[in-house]
Amino acid sequence: MSANWQRRWQPLLQQWVIISATTAARPWSGAIEKVTTTEQPSHDPGCYLCPRVKRAAGTTNPDYQGVYAFDNDFPTLSSSAPSAQNNDDVLHTYAPAHGRCRVLCWSEKHNETLASLSPENMQAVAQLWKDEYVALQNEPDVAQVLIFENKGVEIGVSNLHAHGQIYAPSFVTDTAVSMRHAQADYARANQGQSLLQNMLASEHVQKELLVEQNEHWSVIVPYAARFSYETWILPNRHLSSLADTSQSELDELAAVYQRQVQRYDLLFQRSAPNITLLHNVPCDEHSDNQHWCFHLAFHPPLRDAEKLKYLAGFESGSNNIVNPLMPEDAAAALRAVKDTQS
Ligand SMILES: [Zn+2]
C-alpha cells in the first residue's frame, strides 16, 4: 500500500482517520481565504471585552489590566440549579443542560494577540487557566471543565479581542467520555501505563512527529492527525490536569504554547485562525479518571495559507476525517518554522 493512502487509528478517540496526501494537490475550486489584516485600536468602546465598556446584560467591565474573567452573558448552559427532570424513554431521552460558561480575556488591549503578549502576560494567561480550572472543578454540579479558544473570523468569531472561554457542564461531554474510555482501556491492557505518555515516548513520534521538546513539555503532530497541522502539547510526565502542574511547569507551558501560536502565524503568514482545547481530566468521581493524561490540542482549520478545511459529504456521512497532508510532513514544516525563528 502506498504511504500516501492510509487509514490511521486515532487511539485517543478510537476512530479511523484517512490520510490521503494526494488530495491537497488537486486543482482547488473552493473558497480562497484572503489574508486580511485590519489595523485594530488598542481600545474599542464598542467591544464588550474591553475595559470600562458596558456589556449587553448591563454590567460594566472594570478598568482591568492583564487577564479578566467573567460569566458569559449569553451562556449555552443553564446556570440555575439543575432540575431533576430526566426522561429515559429511548426515543425521547432528555436531561438538564446545566453548567457554568465563562469568558476569559487575555489582555486589556483590544489589539493584542496571544502571539504578541509579553512573557509575563502569557504566564498570567496560563495561571488564569489553572485558577479557573481549580475553582470550577470544586463546584458541586460541575463534571468537566473544558477551556478552549476560538480564534479568527474564518471560524465565525465575531469579536477580535483576544479571549478564550470555558464550558463547565454538569455532565461529561461525549469526546471526554471517549478519551477516558480509551485511556482506561489502554491502561488495563498495559499494566496501568499511560496511553499518551507511551505515545510520546514511541520511537516514531520522537523521530518523525516531534515539533519541539523542552524540560516539561513536548509538541507533537499526532500520528493520526485529523487536521493538516493539528498539534498536541503533552506533558513529559503523567499529569491529570493543570491543577497538578508545578509553577515551573505552568510557566514553561505558557512559553511553549505561545511559541506554537507564533509558529502557526509564521507558517500561514498571518494571525492564523485556530481552535485550541485544554483537555483536563473530568471532575466527576469516575474511577477511570486516574488514567487520564492532560494535553492541549490545536485544531487549525487551514490546510494551507489560503485554504480552509470543510467537512464535506464523505466526512459528514462517515465520521472518518480525511487529512490531505502526511502528519510527518506537517511536523517537518512546523519544525522548519522554528528553525527560521532561531
Ligand atoms: Zn476589546
Residue-level pLDDT at 30: 45
Number of C-beta neighbours around residue 305 at 10 A: 13
Q: How far is the CA of 296 from the centre of ligand 1 (A)?
A: 26
What gap in Å lies between CA 291 and CA 196, rounded to an integer? 10
Q: How far is the CA of 317 from the centre of ligand 1 (A)?
A: 39
Q: How far is the CA of 110 from the centre of ligand 1 (A)?
A: 4
Please compute, for residue 229, the number of CA atoms within 13 A of its CA located in the half-sphere on the CB side: 27
Residue-level pLDDT at 29: 46
Residue-level pLDDT at 24: 53
- Provide the grid cell at 214: 523542552
Residue-level pLDDT at 28: 45
- For 245-288, the DSSP string reads --HHHHHHHHHHHHHHHHHHHHHHTSS--EEEEEEPPP-S--GG
Evaluate whether 121 touches 107 at the Cβ level (below 8 Å).
Answer: yes
- What percent of the chain has a predicted confidence (pLDDT) above 90? 69
Would you please indicate which residues are annotated as catalytic (active-site) residues? 163
Q: How far is the CA of 59 from the centre of ligand 1 (A)?
A: 15
Strand 163-169, strand 146-151: pairing: antiparallel
Q: How far is the CA of 54 from the centre of ligand 1 (A)?
A: 12
Task: Answer with the residue of higher pLDDT: 10 or 34.
Answer: 10
- Provide the grid cell at 185: 482501556
pLDDT category at 26 given cuts 50, 70, 90 is low
Q: How far is the CA of 62 from the centre of ligand 1 (A)?
A: 13
Does the pLDDT of residue 285 top 80, yes or no? Answer: yes
Does the pLDDT of residue 1 top 50, yes or no? Answer: no
Evaluate whether 93 touches 73 at the Cβ level (below 8 Å).
Answer: no
Domain locations along the chain: 65-72+95-341
Name residues with Cβ closer than 5 Å to ligand 1, which is an ion.
44, 47, 49-50, 110, 161
Number of C-beta neighbours around residue 299 at 10 A: 18
Residue-level pLDDT at 25: 56
What gap in Å lies between CA 278 and CA 175, rounded to an integer? 12
Each residue's pLDDT tens digit, 151-205: 888 877 878 899 999 999 999 999 999 999 999 999 999 999 999 999 999 999 9
65-72+95-341 under CATH 3.30.428.10, yes or no: yes
Each residue's pLDDT tens digit, 28-79: 444 545 555 567 899 999 999 999 999 988 999 999 999 999 999 888 888 7
In 3D space, the residue among 225, 191, 195, 193 whose CA is nearest the CA of residue 300 turns out to be: 225
In 3D space, the residue among 143, 151, 149 whose CA is nearest the CA of residue 173 turns out to be: 143
Q: How far is the CA of 270 from the centre of ligand 1 (A)?
A: 20
Torsion of CA 323, 328, 330, 333, to 10 degrees: -160
Outline where 106-246 has alpha helix (H).
119-137, 174-189, 195-201, 203-204
Please compute, for residue 228, the number of CA atoms within 13 A of its CA located in the half-sphere on the CB side: 22
Residue-level pLDDT at 8: 97
Q: How far is the CA of 67 from the centre of ligand 1 (A)?
A: 12
Each residue's pLDDT tens digit, 203-223: 999 999 999 999 999 999 999
Q: How far is the CA of 51 from the centre of ligand 1 (A)?
A: 8
Evaluate whether 283 touches 100 at the Cβ level (below 8 Å).
Answer: no
